[in-house]
C-alpha cells in the first residue's frame, strides 16, 4: 500500500487552538471588567448606605426620641436626611440615586419595629452597565450589574449614644 503524505495538518490544529486561546483570553478580560464594575457598585452602595445611616442617626440625636414613631415628623425627617446623604455620597462616585425608587439606582427607607425596638432602615441599590472589550462584538446589549446595601438605625438602642447602626 502506498502512504499519502499528510502535510499541513498542523495548520488546522494550530488555527483552532489559537481561536480557543483568544476566546478564553477575551472571556477572562471581559469577566474581570464586569466583576470590577460590580465591586465598584457594591463599594458605592455600601458607603452610601452607611453614610445615610450615620446622617439619620446624627439627626435623631438632636430630637426628642420619645415622640419617635413610624409616620411621625421625626421619622420622616430622619428618613429624608438619610436619603439626601446617600444621594450625596453616591454622587461622589458619579452614581445618581433616585429617592424612594429601587427600580434602577436608588435609595429607600423603611420604618419599623422589631422585638420592641424601633428602627429606620435605609436600602441603597446601584445599577450600572459594565463596559466590555470583546463581548460587545457578539452581543449588542450591555452587561448590567446590580449591587444592594442595607443599613439600619435602631432608635434609642442600648449603645452608640442611643442610636445603633447595623449593616
Reading the block at residue 116, the C-alpha cell is 420592641
Q: Does residue 11 surpass a pLDDT of 60? A: yes
Mean pLDDT for 130-156 is 86
Can you give the pLDDT at residue 85? 97
Mean pLDDT for 80-104 is 96
pTM of the model: 0.80
Return the closest-CA partner of residue 120 out of 86, 95, 146, 147.
Answer: 86
Amino acid at each position: 500500500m502506498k502512504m499519502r503524505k499528510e502535510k499541513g495538518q498542523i495548520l488546522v490544529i494550530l488555527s483552532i487552538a489559537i481561536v480557543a486561546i483568544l476566546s478564553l483570553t477575551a472571556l477572562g478580560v471581559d469577566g474581570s471588567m464586569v466583576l470590577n464594575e460590580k465591586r465598584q457598585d457594591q463599594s458605592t452602595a455600601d458607603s452610601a448606605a452607611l453614610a445615610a445611616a450615620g446622617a439619620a442617626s446624627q439627626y435623631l440625636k438632636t430630637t426628642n426620641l420619645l415622640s419617635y414613631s413610624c409616620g411621625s415628623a421625626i421619622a420622616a425627617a430622619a428618613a429624608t436626611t438619610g436619603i439626601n446623604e446617600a444621594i450625596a455620597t453616591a454622587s461622589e462616585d458619579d452614581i445618581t440615586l433616585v429617592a424612594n425608587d429601587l427600580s434602577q439606582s436608588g435609595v429607600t427607607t423603611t420604618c419599623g419595629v422589631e422585638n420592641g425596638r424601633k428602627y429606620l432602615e435605609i436600602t441603597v441599590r446601584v445599577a450600572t452597565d459594565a463596559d466590555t472589550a470583546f463581548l460587545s462584538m457578539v452581543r449588542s446589549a450591555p452587561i448590567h450589574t446590580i449591587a444592594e446595601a442595607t443599613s439600619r438605625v435602631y432608635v434609642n438602642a442600648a449603645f452608640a449614644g442611643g442610636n445603633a447602626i447595623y449593616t
